[in-house]
Structure 1
């Protein structure tokens, strides 16, 4: 519909356009109730794709804690704060000025949710001015994603192969840099997939599928293809099942790297490095000591390890210790504008949005993703505006804006 295009990148205009269309008795194609996106998407997904994106590690305890943690914090409004403009969402991160404080979290295999997959997500992110993080497990090549993302801000997320495959890692980093990915985001908590009952019940691991749902980056990589041919004496296309298994084994090697291995990444990447999956103060301090530019306080949305603490609770502790020494990004549990505001008030400079945009992708491809992003930013803007908070800058949005209660 027209208003989905004309108000791109402007969530408040989006709201005005929807009400304007209402005067002609037209209703928008997607709900604005963020709590309903998941249920609506569930109705459209296959059992396998539903289990993959909605499933969690073990009993889901960590995921539940992620959501419950937000409700312990309340945004306390101030009155008679004179304003002539709406709150600014501009933020500065990794020495870069950005128009909004949210980014697309890296999620792979997006074609299991919509045939357009990463192409739809990357295009919507560019339209909304939201940084896009490309997953190593994507179902679309990094080159094709870069094309549709155009002038958008894009970062590359690495599932880090073992040291036996450093030549592959170098190739992946080189391709990312050549295609305009400015920041390297290294996921630390997924060297092996977690114990996920929903995937096990469906006997479904998308990374082992040979139809390229999670293998596009590997199958298009010259080093991976060269090594595969030397090992098996044939091309990837001649035995895609084996190739998929090999690729999965490389990006999920089973065992973790050590701190000393970060030197290799620094030698082969000349931009900012962000480590995703930090949960302890000790690890955060180690990142500062090693000169890492940023960290993502994340527990992978509760998809990897169960029985852990809420990511928001860890954010508070980590910010208390290193908040002034390193750029901190938050991830895990974001579902609405007030969640974003609370994470920013607690010291994050940016927030990653994960599952909600996948639900948008399921419901409407590029338009669905754009709707989710615009809705979250509109929700955030109005929450700040009506609370008397002039911007997402720590000068205006900080812990003094919040009240904590058990």
Structure 2
């Protein structure tokens, strides 16, 4: 017998179910803004295909009854090897916006990554009992960039995550065809001009505020400027990973921005093993872009990631039911990961990292020893 409530016929059973619920309640142009990618969306599709091609090799007779999903991410405890990814304009999908997501993440024991393009004051991102990471865009306004760094430190952020793959926004054709613009109620209030960014296309708004000339010398300056652990998000090349580690990065996120920047870029999951091999233990390595289940989290662990960032499914949960909807997504992911780990014979996250992997395509087959 168990004290857990029975699953109701109407409860979502997968994150795909949650997306279906969200699509039913969102305006089509808002759904497309969240779901879409850049260009022909070949990288968006390839992200999922990479996970589907990655097959785990389970171990047997390991005596796993209940798997322990707890770990640390960037030095802080987490109930799962998962952090909520930085995403802009939460209030586009639900009026409760970023604070609702931050509260749900705190309740689940997971880090929440607040974004530079959040639609609420930064203070509302730091919720009681939560772990805050802060994502930074390199702004044309250097004084505002420094203010954001100082605010992240003041609010007790546990890491500063610099996005390095957005000198400007990729051509997101769904948004262009829909004429999608940032509504005033969701516009980034922490940037110069605040909600005056409402009414602009996402690309126009980004072009107005993001400095496309970011270089490695700026990273050196940032490493000196902040005492926070520094994470670079958007790394796909092992040489870039090595240079970042050599310059003092504490972590990397292997990411193609969810297929929303360079269309045709390599999927993060495929780039992950070489980057992990290149940096070794010099810095922590996470991955995002295409995570849609607990089994996907396990695949990432087996390929060398210390954890994943979860993006779109969080927004689907928010659209479906506000804070409660996000909590449901995170609980569903926890249940899936615990089940997958137990079935794979991995009693804990360290054992998950030792699982073997086979790729469906023989041309890129890889097995970890």
Q: Which TM-score applies when normalising by structure 1?
A: 0.83
Question: Equivalent residue for 2:189?
Answer: 216
Deviation at 1:240, TM superposition (A): 7.0
Moved more, 153-162 or 68-77: 68-77
Matches within 5 A, 1:232-381: 248-249=206-207, 251-253=209-211, 255-381=212-338
Looking at structure 2, the residues matched to 145 and 301 of structure 1 have their Cα atoms a distance apart, in angstroms, of 23
Deviation at 1:144, TM superposition (A): 1.7
Measured at CA, do residues 354 and 240 of structure 1 come closer, stay the same or move farther in structure 2, by a change above 3 Å? Answer: closer
Measured at CA, do residues 187 and 28 of structure 1 come closer, stay the same or move farther in structure 2, by a change above 3 Å? Answer: farther
Which of residues 69, 74, 88 is equivalent to 1:108?
88
Measured at CA, do residues 72 and 399 of structure 1 come closer, stay the same or move farther in structure 2, by a change above 3 Å? Answer: farther
Looking at structure 2, the residues matched to 33 and 400 of structure 1 have their Cα atoms a distance apart, in angstroms, of 24
Looking at structure 2, the residues matched to 293 and 257 of structure 1 have their Cα atoms a distance apart, in angstroms, of 19
Question: Equivalent residue for 2:68?
Answer: 88
Question: Equivalent residue for 1:161?
Answer: 139
Residues matched between the structures, number:
359
Matches within 5 A, 1:126-205: 126-146=106-126, 149-162=127-140, 165-205=141-181
Deviation at 1:214, TM superposition (A): 2.4
Q: Decide whether the 8 Å contact of 1:137 with 1:215 is kept in 2.
A: yes
Q: Decide whether the 8 Å contact of 1:102 with 1:351 is kept in 2.
A: yes
Q: Deviations over 1:333-374 (max 9, x none)?
A: 000011000001100001000001111001000010000011
Q: Decide whether the 8 Å contact of 2:187 with 2:197 is kept in 1.
A: no
Q: Deviations over 1:131-163 (max 9, x none)?
A: 0000111111111221xx21211110011113x
Q: Secondary structure at the match of 1:126?
A: helix
Measured at CA, do residues 29 and 369 of structure 1 come closer, stay the same or move farther in structure 2, by a change above 3 Å? Answer: farther
CA RMSD, 1 decimal: 2.2
Deviation at 1:241, TM superposition (A): 6.2
Question: Equivalent residue for 1:38?
Answer: 19
Q: Deviations over 1:312-337 (max 9, x none)?
A: 10001111221322110111000001
Measured at CA, do residues 29 and 364 of structure 1 come closer, stay the same or move farther in structure 2, by a change above 3 Å? Answer: farther
Measured at CA, do residues 196 and 240 of structure 1 come closer, stay the same or move farther in structure 2, by a change above 3 Å? Answer: closer
Measured at CA, do residues 318 and 191 of structure 1 come closer, stay the same or move farther in structure 2, by a change above 3 Å? Answer: same
Unaligned runs of 5+ in 1: 1-12, 219-223, 229-235
Deviation at 1:215, TM superposition (A): 1.7
Q: Decide whether the 8 Å contact of 1:122 with 1:145 is kept in 2.
A: yes
Q: Which TM-score applies when normalising by structure 2?
A: 0.91
Question: Equivalent residue for 2:365?
Answer: none
Q: Decide whether the 8 Å contact of 1:159 with 1:191 is kept in 2.
A: no
Looking at structure 2, the residues matched to 307 and 364 of structure 1 have their Cα atoms a distance apart, in angstroms, of 34
Unaligned runs of 5+ in 2: 362-369
Which of residues 32, 38, 56 is equivalent to 1:57?
38
Question: Equivalent residue for 2:358?
Answer: 403
Looking at structure 2, the residues matched to 308 and 243 of structure 1 have their Cα atoms a distance apart, in angstroms, of 27
Question: Equivalent residue for 1:3?
Answer: none
Question: Equivalent residue for 2:364?
Answer: none
